[in-house]
C-alpha cells in the first residue's frame, strides 16, 4: 500500500482479521437465536399415511395462540406435550384442515405430531395466525452443526470489507496529517523569519544606543574643551576665574544651555560607560549563539 507505513498495514490486517472472525461467529450464532420464538416442522410418510411434527417455542412473556393450515386432511393427533389446547378444525369450502393450538404457556415449548392419509401431493403447512415475530420454518437437519465453509466465506468477506475501510481511513488520516505538518512547517518558517527580523531590529537599536552614547561623550568632551579654552582666554586677559565662569554661564543661558555641576558630569560619564559595556556584552552573547 503506497503511502502507508508497514506498521499501519499490519495493524489494519490484524484488526480486520479480528473483526471479521468475530462478525462471522456472531452471524453464525444469530441463526440459532430466536427472540420471540418460532415454529419448526418436519414431514415423514409411509405407504399409507403422512406425519407432521411441530415444535413450537414461545419465548414471549404471555401465552400464544397459533393456527396452522394443512393442505391435506388430518386424521388425528398422534401425540402432544404441554398444557396447551390443540384442535383440528375442518373449515367449510376449504381443502384440508386447520390445526388450532391455544394457550401455549409463556417461555415454554410445545410439541405435537399429527397424522393424515396420503391423498395427492405432499401436504404443506401454512401459518395462518401467530403472534408477531413467530415464523413457520421447516426443520433444518444441519442445525447444531458448524458449517466451517460458511464461516470461512463469511470471514473472508468481512475481512475484505473491514480491511478496505481501514486502508481508506488510514490514507485519509495520512493525507490530513501531511497537510497539518505542512502548515506547521510554514508557520515555523514564518516564525523564524519574524524572529530574525526582530533580532535585526534589536541589534540595530543596540547599535544606535551605543552610537548615541559615544556621540554624546564626544560632544561633551568637545564642549568642555571649548569652555575651558574660552575660560583660560578670558583669565589671560585679566578677568578673574569667577567672572569668567559667570560670563560663560550668561552666554550659555542665552543659547538655552545650562551646565550641570561636576558631580552630575561624573554620574553621566558613569551611565554612559555602563550603557556601552552593556551593549558590548549583549553583542558578544549574540555572536556566541
pLDDT tens for each residue of the chain, 289 residues long = 554 555 666 676 777 777 777 777 776 666 555 445 688 888 888 888 889 999 888 888 888 899 998 888 888 888 888 778 888 888 766 677 888 999 888 888 889 999 988 877 778 898 888 888 788 888 765 554 556 777 777 778 888 887 888 778 778 888 888 888 888 988 988 888 888 888 888 887 877 877 787 788 788 788 778 878 877 887 787 777 777 777 777 777 776 666 554 445 555 555 556 666 666 666 666 666 5
Instruction: Cite the beta strand spans of the chain per DSSP E.
Output: 37-45, 49-58, 64-70, 76-80, 85-89, 97-104, 108-117, 125-129, 136-138
Sign of CA dihedral 114, 117, 123, 127: negative
User: How many C-beta atoms surround the C-beta of residue 149 within 10 A?
Assistant: 8
Structural domain boundaries in the chain: 39-130, 180-288
Under 8 Å CB-to-CB from 91, ≥6 apart: which residues?
97, 98
Q: How many whole angstroms separate alpha carbon 200 and alpha carbon 194?
A: 10
Strand, coil or helix: what is 75? coil
Identify the burial level of 284 via C-beta atoms within 10 angstroms of its C-beta, where 0-12 means exposed, 13-18 middle and 19 or more buried: exposed
Separation between Cα atoms, residue 70 and residue 253, nearest integer Å: 134
pTM summary value: 0.42
pLDDT of residue 8: 65
CB 110 within 8 A of CB 104: yes
Beta bridge partners of 44: 51
| pLDDT score of 80 | 86
Q: What class has domain 39-130?
A: mainly beta
Amino acid at each position: 500500500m503506497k503511502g502507508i507505513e508497514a506498521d499501519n498495514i499490519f495493524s489494519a490486517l490484524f484488526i480486520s482479521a479480528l473483526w471479521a472472525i468475530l462478525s462471522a461467529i456472531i452471524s453464525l450464532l444469530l441463526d440459532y437465536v430466536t427472540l420471540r420464538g418460532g415454529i419448526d416442522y418436519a414431514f415423514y410418510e409411509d405407504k399409507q399415511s403422512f406425519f407432521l411434527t411441530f415444535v413450537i417455542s414461545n419465548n414471549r412473556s404471555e401465552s400464544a395462540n397459533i393456527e396452522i393450515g394443512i393442505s391435506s386432511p388430518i386424521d388425528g393427533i398422534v401425540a402432544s406435550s404441554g398444557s396447551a389446547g390443540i384442535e383440528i378444525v375442518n373449515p367449510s369450502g376449504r381443502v384440508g384442515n386447520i390445526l388450532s393450538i391455544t394457550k401455549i404457556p409463556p417461555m415454554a415449548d410445545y410439541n405435537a405430531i399429527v397424522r393424515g392419509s396420503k391423498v395427492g401431493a405432499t401436504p404443506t403447512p401454512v401459518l395462518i395466525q401467530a403472534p408477531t415475530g413467530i415464523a413457520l420454518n421447516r426443520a433444518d437437519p444441519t442445525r447444531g452443526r458448524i458449517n466451517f465453509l460458511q464461516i470461512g466465506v463469511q470471514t473472508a468477506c468481512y475481512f475484505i470489507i473491514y480491511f478496505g475501510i481501514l486502508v481508506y481511513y488510514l490514507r485519509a488520516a495520512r493525507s490530513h496529517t501531511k497537510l497539518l505538518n505542512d502548515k506547521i512547517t510554514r508557520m515555523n518558517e514564518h516564525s523564524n523569519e519574524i524572529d530574525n527580523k526582530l533580532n535585526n531590529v534589536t541589534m540595530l537599536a543596540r547599535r544606535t544606543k551605543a552610537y548615541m552614547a559615544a556621540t554624546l561623550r564626544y560632544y561633551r568632551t568637545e564642549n568642555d574643551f571649548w569652555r575651558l579654552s574660552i575660560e583660560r582666554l578670558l583669565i589671560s586677559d585679566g578677568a578673574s576665574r569667577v567672572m569668567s565662569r559667570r560670563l560663560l554661564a550668561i552666554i550659555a543661558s542665552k543659547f538655552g544651555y545650562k551646565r550641570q555641576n561636576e558631580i552630575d558630569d561624573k554620574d553621566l560619564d558613569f551611565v554612559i560607560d555602563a550603557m556601552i559595556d552593556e551593549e558590548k556584552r549583549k553583542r558578544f552573547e549574540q555572536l556566541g549563539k
